[in-house]
A = this chain, B = another copy of it.
Amino acid sequence: MKIRFITALIGAVVISASLNAAPAKSEKHAAAAVQFRQAMLQLVRSNVGALGGMAKDQIPMNAATLEKNAMRIEQLSLMMDDYFSVDTRNFPVETDALPGVWEDYADFQSKIVALTTAANELKVAAQQGDESSYKAKIGAIFKSCKGCHDTYKAE
């Protein structure tokens, strides 16, 4: 109960501290931002794999893994605003991030919040052993990934 309260508190603090996007200061700065964004999303990917396998009954449901991976996705989601707030449109970087990210950055931030929320809810469900909700809450994480990729990621 205390842990959940503090998680909610941390989430609220971060959301209230949402950044405005600002242009990268140099090509080097833009390239580093792309590298960090991609690294962060690789780590998200490394955590969703097992969740997908469990949702599809390819591997056994495991509450400890659900909790750990959901916690890590939540932590990574709380880093996203910092990395994406560097607007890299002015430099010739190789990126799958579409220009729309910075055309309506507040909307992009709302997609980040959706992921933080979905990950937090799966984490809490796993902590509580609420097995009947696991598949729906895993589904909500994948839905939030797709909800952002559909608009903001190159195919």
Chain A positions near chain B (C-beta within 8 angstroms): 2-3, 6, 32, 35-36, 38-40, 42-43, 46, 72, 75, 79, 83
Nearest B-chain residue to A64, judged by Cβ: B17
Q: In the assembly, what is the distance between CA of A75 and CA of B71, in Å?
A: 10
Nearest B-chain residue to A6, judged by Cβ: B3
Q: B residues within 8 A CB of A43?
A: 36, 39-40, 43, 79
Majority-rule SS of A interface residues: helix
Could you tell me the distance in whole angstroms from the C-beta of A14 to the nearest C-beta in chain B?
Answer: 9
Docked-complex contact A42 and B46, CB < 8 angstroms: no
Nearest B-chain residue to A32, judged by Cβ: B46
Could you tell me the distance in whole angstroms from the C-beta of A19 to the nearest C-beta in chain B?
Answer: 12
13 other contacts beyond A36-B42, A40-B43, with CB at 8 A cut-off? A2-B2, A2-B6, A6-B6, A35-B42, A36-B43, A39-B39, A39-B40, A39-B46, A43-B43, A43-B79, A46-B83, A72-B75, A75-B75
Could you tell me the distance in whole angstroms from the C-beta of A134 to the nearest C-beta in chain B?
Answer: 21
